[in-house]
Amino acid sequence: MALESDRGADAKPRVLLTDHPWPDVDVETAIFAAAGIDLVAGPVEAPRAQEVERLATAHEPDAIMTCWASVSARAIAAPPALKIVARMGVGLDNLDVVAAPGRGAWVTNVPDYCVEEVSDHAVALLLAHCRDVVGLDRLAKRGVWKPEAARPRRVRDLTIGLIGFGRMGRAAAAKLRGFGCKVIAFSRRGANGEGVESVTMAELQARADAIILHLPLTPETAHLVDDAFIQTCARAPLLINVSRGGLVDNDALLRGLDSGKLCGAALDVIKGEPNPPESVLRHEDILVTPHIAFLSPASLIELRRRACEEVVRVLSGGRPVFPCNEPAVRAAR
């Protein structure tokens, strides 16, 4: 593999890893060492955007990899020979997708490493609610055995509404099929397949007993679930969010639960994480997991490996497998 860098003819290409919410960087180090690439690893916890800008300026990386840290237009502009900004994950809301291609760099993600996990998680949250598992276990842990407190529902009798019908939505629909419930979905591109009925957003709000958010956070989808959205829901649905916290207005959610317009919520993501409002975190009618829908031992290794391989591919002059944007101007090599 012929790898180059403008830091000098004999300098190795360099990757800046802005953050890594796993304890070591053994997987990344092994892959990059084998490819003759230097790794500069940031901290476990995501640094602020300004710190990422400082690191990008100081280290002049050929590639920036980020998990949760924000990668701003300024950070993308800083390295003279940046060729790729690689998201270690699916969503692109923490990097400046527009700035990178203008700068001549690829943007990549790993869109399918955790399809099993996220769809498992969405169905797990739905079933936990339908079978009242969490509320009843809370009572048990206080020493209380109280069957008459149970509020279970028969899944087959429900209509489940998916908003977004990409890889995750389709996988959730396939898993729900075995339960015999009606699955309807709204997607801008239409929702066809997996025995799902494609509906308008208004139909979904009118018919759904549970709503699962399976869509990315963009300027258009931010606060999709707000007061107006919730008021339009007819059947006091359960709201499940396994996508991005910013899709939901926390205050509107709390008002929706108080007024009975929503029967409950199950959130793997909350706006404000990793310090979400206590009023959401501790709410009795909100089932909370801390943004781990993507996670399993298998998925995490796969994510790290595949994100690194994408960087190696681009720094070796190849085209990425999952480009999110075509570079407008190819980086000078």
> Which residues are the active-site residues?
244, 273, 291
DSSP state, 71?
Answer: B
Q: Give the one residue of 64, 123, 163, 253 binding a copy of itself; rule: CB under 8 A.
A: 123
Nearest one of 129, 199, 147 to 169, comparing CA atoms: 199
In the chain, the N- to C-terminal Cα span, in Å, equals 14
Q: Of 30 and 292, which has the nearer Cβ to a copy of itself?
A: 292
Of 254-262, 289-297, 303-311, 314-322, the window that binds a copy of itself (rule: CB under 8 A) is 289-297
Q: Of 77 and 127, which has the nearer Cβ to a copy of itself?
A: 127
Q: Beginning with the edge strand found earlier in the chain, give each strand of the sheet holding 210-213 in spatial order.
A: 197-198, 182-186, 159-163, 210-213, 238-241, 264-267, 286-288
Q: Of 81 and 295, which has the nearer Cβ to a copy of itself?
A: 295
Residue 24 binds to a copy of itself (criterion: CB under 8 A): no
Residue 121 binds to a copy of itself (criterion: CB under 8 A): yes
- State the alpha helices, DSSP H only, in 131-216: 133-141, 167-177, 201-207
Q: Of 99 and 293, which has the nearer Cβ to a copy of itself?
A: 293
Q: How far is the CB of 329 from a copy of itself (least distance, A)?
A: 38
Alpha carbon distance 166, 110 (integer Å):
14
Q: Give the one residue of 7, 20, 103, 291 binding a copy of itself; rule: CB under 8 A.
A: 291
Treating both helix axes as pointing N-terminal to C-terminal, what angle do 115-130 and 133-141 enclose, rounded to 10 degrees?
A: 70
Q: Of 21 and 320, which has the nearer Cβ to a copy of itself?
A: 21
Of 95-103, 148-156, 252-260, 317-325, the window that binds a copy of itself (rule: CB under 8 A) is 148-156
Alpha carbon distance 252, 250 (integer Å):
5
Q: Give the one residue of 24, 48, 177, 259 binding a copy of itself; rule: CB under 8 A.
A: 177
Q: How far is the CB of 223 from a copy of itself (least distance, A)?
A: 21
Q: Give the one residue of 131, 182, 223, 255 binding a copy of itself; rule: CB under 8 A.
A: 131
Q: How far is the CB of 185 from a copy of itself (least distance, A)?
A: 16
Residue 116 binds to a copy of itself (criterion: CB under 8 A): yes
**Which residues 258-277 are close enough to bind a copy of itself by CB under 8 A?**
273-276
Residue 239 binds to a copy of itself (criterion: CB under 8 A): no
Alpha carbon distance 195, 57 (integer Å):
51
DSSP state, 330?
Answer: P
**Residue type at position 272:** G
Residue 298 binds to a copy of itself (criterion: CB under 8 A): yes
- Spell out the residues 6+ positions from residue 242 whose beta carbon is closer than 8 angstroms to its own: 118, 121, 122, 125, 168, 212, 213, 214, 268, 269, 293
Cis peptide before 297 (omega within 30 of 0): no
Of 4-12, 102-110, 130-138, 309-317, the window that binds a copy of itself (rule: CB under 8 A) is 130-138
Q: Beginning with the edge strand found earlier in the chain, give each strand of the sheet holding 38-41 in spatial order.
A: 38-41, 14-17, 63-66, 84-87, 106-108, 323-325
Q: Of 137 and 258, which has the nearer Cβ to a copy of itself?
A: 137
The C-alpha angle 118, 120, 123, rounded to 5 degrees, equals: 105
Residues forming contacts to a copy of itself in the complex (CB under 8 A) are: 21, 116-117, 120-121, 123-125, 127-128, 130-134, 136-141, 143, 145-150, 152-157, 174-180, 273-276, 278, 281-282, 287-293, 295-299
